[in-house]
Amino acid sequence: MTPAFEALQKELKRLPGVGFRSAERMAIYLLLERPEAAASLADAIRSASERVRSCSVCGNVCEEEACSICQDERRSDSGLLCVVEHVSDLMALEKSGAYRGRYHVLHGKLSPINGIGPERLNLSGFTDRLKRESIEELILALPNDVEGEATSHYLTDLVGEGSVKVSRIGFGLPSGASVLYADTVTLKSALEARKAF
């Protein structure tokens, strides 16, 4: 392999979810099989890096000061604010069509072991939003793990006692899954998140 090929492969491997073999296949595809795709990919990355930014209100991706969700006045009337870990979580909720309120993206979760404290999260505008916006319910859509729990408790403490209801999304078995193959944590979460039938 050449140094340039190895450098490209190394950079591709840094992407989330991309392992050594996937990076190798992508590099071969871009350099040998479809070299014209490499130029358009490079242009798209360059253009996006110059134009895309974080929404000043919620932390979503946008090309203006605020994203289209924050600019949608119909959503501000809902009184709902959903806190998510990453923009990809926001996108998944949007694709589901199940939620039509506003969001706040933390860009991470508390993890003292990894040196991630509150100062590393997108919390600067969060408390301002709690004061400024008419929020009736704060929905915590954070992972069902130790860091997600710690972050949820931290946010609940920030909200404090008052008129804002704090809820957490339910966790449990995915549609079509069998109880037989679920792990104990998933089963416990599914039982705790049960609702009337």
What is the pLDDT, as a whole number, of residue 90? 96
Highest mean pLDDT: which of 71-75, 89-93, 122-126, 158-162?
A: 89-93
**Of 22-26, 30-34, 129-133, 152-156, minimum mean pLDDT range:** 129-133
Rounded average pLDDT over 167-173: 85
What is the pLDDT, as a whole number, of residue 76? 75
Inter-residue contact 85 to 143 (CB < 8 Å) = yes
Inter-residue contact 11 to 45 (CB < 8 Å) = no
Rounded average pLDDT over 53-64: 96
User: Measured in Å, how far apart are the chain's first and last C-alpha atoms?
Assistant: 61
Which pairs from 188-191 meet CB under 8 Å and 24+ separation? 189/144
Q: Name all domains of the chain by residue range, CATH numbers in brackets.
A: 3-51 (1.10.8.420), 72-192 (3.40.1360.10)
**Whether residue 183 has pLDDT greater than 90:** no
**Whether residue 49 has pLDDT greater than 80:** yes
